[in-house]
Structure 1
Amino acid sequence: MRHAETVTFGGSTLDRAAELRRRPEEIAQAPRDIVLLWQGKPLVEAPGLDRLVRVPVDHPVLAQTAPEAVLLGRQEDGRLIEARELVGWMPEDVDPAQMNSFVDTSEQRHPLMDDAQVFAELRRVMTRLSPRDAELAATAKAVLHWHVSHRFCARCGAQSEAVQAGWQRACASCGAQHFPRTDPVVIMLITHGNSVLMGRSPHWPTGMFSLLAGFVEPGETIEAAVRREVWEEAGVKVGAVAYLASQPWAFPASLMFGCRGVALSREITIDPVEIEQAMWVSREEMMQAFAGTHPVLSPARKGAIAQFLLRNWLADTL
């Protein structure tokens, strides 16, 4: 694909400084900044919500963070950058139903931070951030979430500890080593003639449709997963399949493999357990949707690989 790494969360050429992960003393002595998250929401500059806040290592708010620090990488000026999760704080006006939801527009201000610094949902701000900030935020969110959900050894049940600058957990009881989880997902632009196959889940906003997607199963190739998922969800057989681009998707921890495939028929039979609706959308209708003039259809969320693939399909740059 001609512009594969221009997808959101990709292409920032971050130096992850992996050679330092075994040198905690060197990390501790190096100049570094902290990217701060709370409830999975990164701290960004308001009102634009277009820049990650870099917190200095001596800031008092860091006393309220979890013990796990994740070394994200090394910046161009040589300074390291870490990620930490703020814990033990909950503002009074938080709506639990909205937090980390599909349409979370809430912002939270911590009393120790500047008024112009707020925690905001990453899906809301991901297209406003620079490619570097977007990659840092997505990496931080995914790895810190992994630490929260994998505190105990999957082999013996004992509590494990973070090692390797946050990129591994070690069990002192049985010696097991655990690594951050990434779930492979295929998302596919399936075409038949001048139309593309679109579907929607019942919890999405009214009118929103996206490309079909599903997890890759153990022992399965990407191509086989594309054909299986389209058949299971929409009852459509797929012939030729080709890889296009990938996107790390930290909600909570997936790697999206964007593919294109050619449908062998147009007949649709959905599995209502998998999706609520599926339909063929012509190129002309999709252009209307992107322009905001379609009477029913809304395109996939800006910043998601689904919209990236659709936009390149419309522009004939796949």
Structure 2
Amino acid sequence: MASAAIPLDKTVNPHPEMQYLDLMRAIWETGSERVDRTGVGTRSVCGSVLRYDLADGAMPLLTTKRVYWKTATRELLWFLTGSTNIRPLVLQGVKIWNEWPHANYVRQTGDPIDLDNFVARIADDAQFAARWGDLGPVYGKQWVDWPTFRYRADGLYEKGEGINQIAAVVESLRTSPGSRRHIIEGWNVAELDRMALPPCHKTYQFHVAGNGSAARLNCLLYQRSCDVALGLPFNLWSAALLTRMMAQQVGMEPGELVWMGGDVHLYLNHAHLIEEQLDRSPQGRPTMEILRKPETIFDYAIDDFVVHDYAPMPPIAAPVAV
């Protein structure tokens, strides 16, 4: 099924959102149709790259449909706490992780509770949430408390102190900006089978260009699996936001976000979203401002971020494949 075509923007200064729309169109029109883990089916390509300049407050925030950037921001702040339980998100009205623990609960207990009632119980019952709201050692756990083990004299292993990768990268950017080891990794092979969903946006590498007051912080994100219609708009925002927060903490200007995808796909049941979005054209160039500089990277709050000049087209609803 071919999507409704819109002309490529070939002006000297094309809208940065065009590369996202071009990627969506290419996948939908030329991607390989595959049976996937969810059973829904996808059209997929291998290997894609998007680049966004973050100068002057620019953010990769889509305008061809509304992206709920506060939801994505709350998720990122949740990652930075190291929490792996959905209850803090549920209490803020963030729904993006609810389907996985709900499906696990129904599968393990046989209780046919619907999603809304399950989520309400997570909010109302801390003990129930502790048992059924945990996602396993997902992003936040790996980012701020990567598990380690020590070899003891008696030949046994014992748990060591967890590694805070976020804090380590902030420190290395301050003390050794030219390093090629500014990396945050989520793909902990030993713990994948305990995660509700293995990390999709798995590897972040930071790069410093320039020196002193002219230093600019770039970020390259490698994403092994990417749902372009629903996931990628959040992933781009979050990666750009993390880059801005890191840059502020280490006294640098934001540089460029380079996004790289491995299995880059669109779900077959998202046809209506894809075709409607490809009929739209980008409008405006929103920017984001951080209102204060907290003491550490872990002390930001949702009210620290303000988006300017964001007047997107209406949202387009579509189901999440679990």
Q: What TM-score do you get using the length of structure 2 for normalisation?
A: 0.25
Q: Counting strand residues as a fraction of each chain, which structure ranks higher?
A: 1
Q: What TM-score do you get using the length of structure 1 for normalisation?
A: 0.26
Q: Counting helix residues as a fraction of each chain, which structure ranks higher?
A: 2
